[in-house]
Amino acid sequence: MNNYFEGHTEFECETEPVGFASVELRDGQQSLIATRMRTEDMLPILPKMDQVGYESMEVWGGATFDSAIRYLQEDPWERLRAIKKLVKKTPLRMFLRGQNLVGYIQYPDDIVEHFIAAAAKAGIDIFLTFDGLNDTRNCETVFKAVKKAGKKIEANIIYTISPVHNLEKYVEIAKKYEAMGAEAIHIEDTAGLLDPVSAGTMIKSMKQNIQVPIHLQCHCTGGMADMTYWEAAKAGVDVLDVDVASFALGTSHPPVESILVALRNTPRAAKLDLRLLSEINAYFQMIRAKYKEFTSKFTGVDISVLKHQIPGGMLSNLENQLKQLNILDKLDQVLQEAEFVRQDLGYPPLATPFSQIVGVQAVMNVMLKERYKMLPKETKEYIRGAYGKTPGIVKSELLKKVLQGKDLITCRPGELLAPAYEKCKTEIGNLAQNEEDIITYALFGETAKEFLKKKYQK
């Protein structure tokens, strides 16, 4: 076997070991258990995870911030500091939505700056930063703030399939991010759409055009992610995002164990300890059982994702929302409607907040039995350009309905937002006991206020 690979040419483009990034504590749990994992269930396993040799551990950002204050009554800042105390060797990564930070709207530049400085101080080493529309302008303020804090930037490109997305466009976006100062380019296939052949072609093209390392994350929803990782490794990808097996597959990511073994007899083999990973996996098996009430029913392969393109985290949350509305039986209808909504909105990649915008609009269309009878504020703002430049052209009827003769927003949307930190500081008053409380309020308003009241009443 070894002799075969010594003469094998498939891996000659890259002979360094593949790196692995752990994502159980952020995207893994967001995909599989609706982001309900408590800090107390994270801390015991961290020392072992720190010994694995991961390139990074993604532990914060995405929906974890909102979920902590809204559902768990936990302070996300305290969670981050607690994790940092136990993870001594492995860099901590957060998932950041560009000008949207960890929320669902665009925030003023001063809020962005305060948030980045506070997150860096609390323990974040790597800011994995993206814009849901791949509008690089929406990451400019974040990049400057991260550089000022002396931390690392990974620029994230959301992969999607549409008539307005192609390889040349993705390479162009990567070049822009590299010119802005990104220290790695991270390609994220949120919905499990990236097939093995396209992945190999994309990684090769990125390696030819980009000087910084190329990272890849795929979700397993479409059933191709393991094969896609293999082709990406052959093409020279530097780092792959993974979970241990008990938090992998379904709408989550490939398991580190199987990818590690698959690469074992190739020039790209990594020297991670399978016995240690087995111990970590056993712990997370216990955690999965504890949170079984939140487990998504999407446990196998859903090739229909190639049409609706709803990512894993949104699928599990959408399922829970439809349960609460007593219309879970309409899930398939909602997913079909999401295809039409996405097309009408100019093919936005379905990362947060656009997966939510498309999903909510699809639910409304189904419930009201009429398309666009009601447009939520977020849909209107998206159509106006308040989130950035849409990838394609929005349906003319929707533009007329929303704009009503007014012009589209064509500048970087953040430029139109007045500074808000001092205003938020005044509004929250004595209820905020530190800068982090002020930032939490600036991001989540009344939800944050209720959280802070309960926190300090204890």
pLDDT at 34 over 70: yes
pLDDT of residue 351: 86
| CATH number for position 317 | 1.10.472.90
pLDDT at 194 over 70: yes
User: Which of these, 406, 409, 415, 417, lies nearest to 389 by C-alpha position?
Assistant: 409
pLDDT at 1 over 80: no
In a 3-state reduction of DSSP, which class is residue 10? coil
| Same-domain check for residues 178 and 49 | yes
If you ran DSSP here, which 8-state letter would residue 242 be given? E
User: Which of these, 180, 233, 227, lies nearest to 207 by C-alpha position?
Assistant: 233
| Same-domain check for residues 170 and 45 | yes
pTM for this predicted structure: 0.93
| Same-domain check for residues 260 and 374 | no
| Same-domain check for residues 378 and 436 | no
User: Which of these, 67, 81, 149, 135, lies nearest to 106 by C-alpha position?
Assistant: 135
Q: What is the pLDDT of residues 231-274, one digit of tens each?
A: 999 999 999 999 999 999 998 999 999 999 999 999 999 999 99
| Same-domain check for residues 383 and 446 | no
Among the residue ranges 34-43, 275-284, 290-299, 430-439, the one predicted with the least confidence is: 290-299
| CATH number for position 176 | 3.20.20.70
Cis peptide before 376 (omega within 30 of 0): no
| Same-domain check for residues 263 and 310 | no
The residue range of the domain holding 315 is: 305-411
Q: What is the pLDDT of residues 342-358, one digit of tens each?
A: 999 999 999 888 988 99
Q: For the chain, how many structural domains are there in total?
A: 3
| Same-domain check for residues 227 and 89 | yes
Q: What is the pLDDT of residues 85-115, one digit of tens each?
A: 999 999 999 999 999 999 989 999 999 999 9
pLDDT at 164 over 60: yes
| Same-domain check for residues 124 and 141 | yes
What is the arithmetic mean of pLDDT over 34-56?
Answer: 97
Rounded-to-10 torsion of CA 25, 30, 36, 41:
-20
Task: Look at 308 and 111; give whichever has higher pLDDT.
Answer: 111
Of the residues 267, 294, 321, the one at which a domain ends:
294
| Same-domain check for residues 289 and 309 | no
pLDDT of residue 313: 61
| Same-domain check for residues 34 and 92 | yes
| Same-domain check for residues 154 and 223 | yes
Instruction: Give the separation between CA 77 and CA 117, rounded to whole angstroms.
Output: 12
Enter the tokens of residue 100: 């949207």
Task: Look at 319 and 219; give whichever has higher pLDDT.
Answer: 219
pLDDT at 403 over 90: yes
